[in-house]
Amino acid sequence: MRRLPLDPAVTALVRVLLAVTAVFLLAPALLVFVLSFSDESFVRFPPREWGLRQYSTLFSSQEWLDAIWMSVKIAVPSALLAVAIGLPATFAMYRTRLPGGDLLRFLSLSSLLIPISAFGVGLFGVFAQLGLTATYLGIVIAHTVLAVPLVIVVLTTAIARIPPELELIAMTLGASRLRASTGITLRLLAPAVAAALLFAFITSFDEAVLITFLGGPGLVTVPKAIFDSVRYGVDAVITAIAALTFIVSALIALLTVRLNPRGK
């Protein structure tokens, strides 16, 4: 389909709006990145002294290293569980004649419509009855529940681009339904599965609200440690951990975009 050329004034306006939006989104992260190279014991912009004090303090602080390790210990199983739940759910919704499939699709994504604070309050009420508050298992379950809809979004977008006729052709050639699904659709879906896994990991690693509602002693993640540091006195080392978190999140997001297949 031939595209009509845009008016030069409209093109210039669109470019200006995109540039302003990019600056607005990236400016806070860039500011934190610059502040992370301050050699002072408190946050001040512009810094009077430059150095690697914040990074050396971060990697020599057992408290911050424990928070990073706790975030990883929660994010890895949460991401794996979210994909283990979201992958078969995606096949059930898009590759079977499951009764109430449309309702199931809506329910699988409905938690995205709920404010995270209200979601945390609801989970706290349920977990309090089950004895899961302030427990490692409870946090993993909560982060899994939070990540499942995002996994389903990624996988359903990808599976919708895979023609179901490929499975039917394989079945007419003698392959079983399971062989056709795993040998064709699942193989084509593998990049999206990897992207969904990374998305779930970064969602859990960066989550700060649920850990506040459901966490307890010994369950301090990086976002919770940053929140506590700001709440009880701004420690300049948070600029280093925030800069590293931003860089890792950006790299994972770029890798996710590369892994997630695009329709032609």
What's the pLDDT tens digit per position in 106-158? 777 777 778 888 888 888 888 888 888 888 999 999 999 999 998 998 888 88
**According to the model, what pLDDT value does residue 233 have?**
61
Q: Is residue 47 part of a domain?
A: no
Residue 264 lies in a domain: no
Q: Looking at the domain assignment, is residue 228 inside a domain?
A: yes
- Res. 44: pLDDT tops 90: no
Residue 264's pLDDT is 41
| CB-facing half-sphere around the CA of 59: CA atoms within 13 A | 5
Residue 54 lies in a domain: no
Q: Does residue 88 form part of some domain?
A: yes
pLDDT band at 80 (very low <50, low <70, confident <90, very high): very high
Please name the residues in contact with 87: beta carbons below 8 A apart, sequence gap of 6 or more: 151, 155, 193, 196
pLDDT at 190: 83
- Is residue 173 in some structural domain? yes
State whether residue 50 is helix, strand or coil.
strand
Q: What is the pLDDT of residue 260?
A: 57
Tally of domains in the chain: 1
| CA-angle at 61, arms to 59 and 63, nearest 5° | 125
**Is 196 domain-assigned?**
yes
Report residue 76's pLDDT band, with 50, 70 and 90 as the boundaries.
Answer: very high
Residue 172 to residues 62, 180, 184, 188, Cα–Cα distance (Å): 60, 10, 14, 19
How far apart are alpha carbons 16 and 56 in whole angstroms?
A: 40
What global pTM score does this model have?
A: 0.79
d(CA 185, CA 171): 13
Percent share of the chain, pLDDT over 90: 11
163-194 per-position pLDDT tens digit: 777 777 777 777 766 677 777 777 888 888 88
By residue range, what is the domain housing residue 168?
60-259
User: 256 exposed, middle or buried (CB, 10 Å; 0-12, 13-18, 19+)?
Assistant: buried
Q: Is the residue at 195 inside a domain?
A: yes
Percent share of the chain, pLDDT over 70: 89
Q: What is the CATH number of the domain that holds 111?
A: 1.10.3720.10
